[in-house]
Structure 1
């Protein structure tokens, strides 16, 4: 072997040999010491090739890349191999026998996975009994839900094979004698190239054969590869190749360009936070520095920290404006006394109860001009709520937050801020009884945490497609409601486990019932109010109309809810899906959720299931006594505003339940830039309901004719 021999014209074979020899000697010595101290043999260490790329791949590959190697990592004579097939299972057992294939230890059909191996213990035993899993490529999309997360944590995800090939034995042998690359969503990918029981020369041979195939399956090939390392499961990484650290061709900085935030992410029903973050950045350019508070949640999309560097003229403009005019009300932004009330130009006192209640603890309510002023204020005030003015025990000064583009100001009353000061937020993880690895994560907001919760009423807040519990107006509403609330991520969304599917609305209803059962059994809560946005609204309607717990709910808020399900095919995103269906049979939907890129797969079956969802039940099955508020933006391009009119027609003839229809003139599907207006409308409706002032019809709150003549 020549001294300067290269793998793929880049990597020195000599350097690889030195690194493999050193790693193998170190790992063998360490493994021998471990075996002396343990009575039972442990798991054999693997040898990995770590590939670091310069640019994150644009999409996530579900199907692994097959990489040929010289010496197989799995020996069928000592390692059981399981084959997962379509039904009937017996047909494929006979097929293996007809081809004289004897290296498959077990054949399992889909019905077996749904029946015999549905219990978690049975699936865990199947995972431990087999060292490798192959699967008919036609059933691979069904397996993540049937197998659960443990398969992927153990790096034993089934390898797709084609069972219809004439050379079936060769197809299965190639699958077993190869290694696989599952390129993740980051810059580093690990590929197994050997095991410790193999000799260093065998590991080197595997590397020489595998590396050219790996480079060919990385976008832009060697130009995008930054470095290569080898390691074991627990060792340090030994470098075998690195690109030049310059801007030359194939250098570290060659061809790299910054991507602005406006170019990232999508824009549709599930990408709600993208529009809001952009709008927030625009509206906050002249408001100075943001002050963090104890209630800040780093994962809330609308509360993203602003860049430290700002234009000097924008900063100077923000520091000179000490007063704001909101809907004809002149307010001092940081100098209101706790007992004062804003007055209108006509001298009439503005009632704080007619506005939304947003605690000064909510993010961005008070924004000091610099860090020294902030430190001085915090040191001088022991109260939880960071407000200015004369603070007295038991009272908190009212605060004002006026957001650019918002049609309503959020003015908090002192007695309600006292209540907010005692609020406690608790993050809960709820185990899913029907699916392993599908824990539901949510936030419980308690108004009076020291009091018993048995029989206490609670509100549930449901997010939309590929959203999360803290996006848009959800968190702000939870902080403003005068009763306890719980908001959570549906399965496959943000922090909750499981797999998201566009057409699985029935699974969302199941998740909702799991949450309700948990809150009842663990706390004694009774659900009294449900607020649903977009997809969450569709789910909320069905749950209230068809479940025993749902029919006890006394109030429901329908925000941007869809009625005519089939019209999703006609909006821009639906058309993109259908074009992808024609080209490749499915669509990969790349969206950003809580500042993290998510790759969601949408299939024709998902779209068909979604459009077939029946919403007409609201006319006959929705409870007669439940009061409903339908809130919709007139600029909504995702769900036509006329869907809100249909809901009004369907629900207005019930008694004693009422239906209130409220349109937001400048609101889009996600109410981008005006989340406070949504909170304001909901809280005023809830207050009017508590006073018995609700009547079926169109809400006229905040509507005025201006200077126009009819």
Structure 2
């Protein structure tokens, strides 16, 4: 992780905010609660410097489990070939026992989800019966069309798990024990659940520190991204635990000014070079015009005779018949006799 992306949290300030929040939750009347030991979720609210360009989901591993032991976890599995639904359920229950997985409370094959939970009311009951949903990574892409939009609107969509992993218990424990945060490209705020009111102040403080550093390192934004961080419960006021400084903004302004000045200098240099090129072209044109004005163009209408060379002029030779005809015409013109006209052929009409 880069040093610029690290968030320097004041541990004492975070601990004070957690203690104040726990004191507020204890002082609140419990008349509306069904159980006295019912706990409330505690979350941290991130405010970013700007809206991200793309949506992102970040998984956050936590040192202490942010869910209570009484929460129900449901696992969606694929349909095993050449097995009925009951056989697939028994197969995966046996697999969980062999791998030492104790977090999963119920297993639902994909075929059961597709048939028994097709009505809207059945999907709502399924959403209310469980606190967390896991899914086999091989069928995760097929679940949105079967679950509907309510799971995704309430941010309860199933998290992918590799059921073929050799360390299945550790992988599921990380997913159940950890949390996740969804960063969308429609706003500058996002929230992540880091614990519950039944945890101690030190456990909550450690979870908050781990979540903040993970989000600061994995978020896809250039430079520092977190502006303000608050901690709050479901119905309490948000308590600030971190506020970013303005040092990076001054740096960005300085770099922008340097870029603008460099761009202006390059523009001036390009203008000067263009002006020099234009002046050089004008000078060349003027010099060419001066050279052309000194030379007089002599029209060569008659071919110039060169010594030792004769012009090849071809004369037509008269035919002997033409010579005789010309001599006869000269004699007749001297005697005053007109040249005879050629006789016309008489048009003889054909008689029937």
TM-score bracket, normalised by the shorter chain, equals 0.5 to 0.7
Normalised to the residue count of structure 1, the TM-score between the two structures is: 0.32
Of 22, 25, 46 in structure 2, the residue corresponding to residue 24 of structure 1 is 22
- Show the counterpart of 1:218: 219
- Show the counterpart of 1:229: 230
1:249 aligns with 2:241: no
Give how far 1:164 is off: 1.8
Mapped partners of 1:224, 1:37: distance in 2: 39
Unaligned runs of 5+ in 2: 81-87, 257-352
- Show the counterpart of 1:154: 154
8 Å CA contact 1:81–1:106 kept in 2: the answer is: yes
8 Å CA contact 1:81–1:134 kept in 2: the answer is: yes
Mapped partners of 1:140, 1:255: distance in 2: 47
Greater relative contact order, per chain length (Cα 8 Å cut-off, separation 6+): 2
8 Å CA contact 1:28–1:196 kept in 2: the answer is: no
**Does the C-alpha gap of structure 1 residues 251 and 21 become closer, same or farther in structure 2, counting only changes over 3 Å?**
farther
Of 51, 54, 57 in structure 2, the residue corresponding to residue 56 of structure 1 is 51
Q: Give aligned pairs, total.
A: 243
Give how far 1:102 is off: 3.2
Give how far 1:202 is off: 1.5
**Does the C-alpha gap of structure 1 residues 41 and 190 become closer, same or farther in structure 2, counting only changes over 3 Å?**
same
- Show the counterpart of 1:163: 163
8 Å CA contact 1:215–1:221 kept in 2: the answer is: no
Look at both structures and tell me which one has the larger radius of gyration over its CA atoms: 2
Give how far 1:224 is off: 1.7
- Show the counterpart of 1:689: none
1:105 aligns with 2:105: yes
Mapped partners of 2:65, 2:131: distance in 1: 13
Of 59, 73, 86 in structure 2, the residue corresponding to residue 81 of structure 1 is 73
Give how far 1:213 is off: 0.9
Mapped partners of 2:47, 2:135: distance in 1: 29
Q: Deviations over 1:643-678 (max 9, x none)?
A: xxxxxxxxxxxxxxxxxxxxxxxxxxxxxxxxxxxx
Give how far 1:228 is off: 0.8
SS of structure 2 residue aligned to 1:182: strand
Give how far 1:37 is off: 5.1
Alpha-carbon RMSD across the aligned residues, in angstroms, is 2.7
Mapped partners of 2:204, 2:97: distance in 1: 34
Q: Deviations over 1:592-640 (max 9, x none)?
A: xxxxxxxxxxxxxxxxxxxxxxxxxxxxxxxxxxxxxxxxxxxxxxxxx
- Show the counterpart of 1:66: 59
Which structure has the highest helix share of the two?
A: 2
SS of structure 1 residue aligned to 2:228: strand
Give how far 1:177 is off: 1.0
Mapped partners of 2:163, 2:156: distance in 1: 20
Mapped partners of 2:217, 2:101: distance in 1: 32
SS of structure 2 residue aligned to 1:103: coil
8 Å CA contact 1:243–1:252 kept in 2: the answer is: no
8 Å CA contact 2:227–2:244 kept in 1: the answer is: yes
SS of structure 2 residue aligned to 1:36: coil
Q: Deviations over 1:463-507 (max 9, x none)?
A: xxxxxxxxxxxxxxxxxxxxxxxxxxxxxxxxxxxxxxxxxxxxx
SS of structure 1 residue aligned to 2:100: coil
**Does the C-alpha gap of structure 1 residues 54 and 9 become closer, same or farther in structure 2, counting only changes over 3 Å?**
closer
Q: Which residues of 2 match residues 187-586 of structure 1 at below 5 A?
A: 187-220=188-221, 223-244=224-245, 246=246, 248-249=247-248
Mapped partners of 1:229, 1:255: distance in 2: 30
Give how far 1:201 is off: 1.8
SS of structure 2 residue aligned to 1:128: helix
Mapped partners of 2:255, 2:127: distance in 1: 43
Mapped partners of 1:251, 1:148: distance in 2: 47
8 Å CA contact 2:132–2:158 kept in 1: the answer is: yes
Normalised to the residue count of structure 2, the TM-score between the two structures is: 0.62
Give how far 1:94 is off: 3.6
**Does the C-alpha gap of structure 1 residues 129 and 41 become closer, same or farther in structure 2, counting only changes over 3 Å?**
farther
**Does the C-alpha gap of structure 1 residues 201 and 249 become closer, same or farther in structure 2, counting only changes over 3 Å?**
same
Q: Deviations over 1:306-337 (max 9, x none)?
A: xxxxxxxxxxxxxxxxxxxxxxxxxxxxxxxx
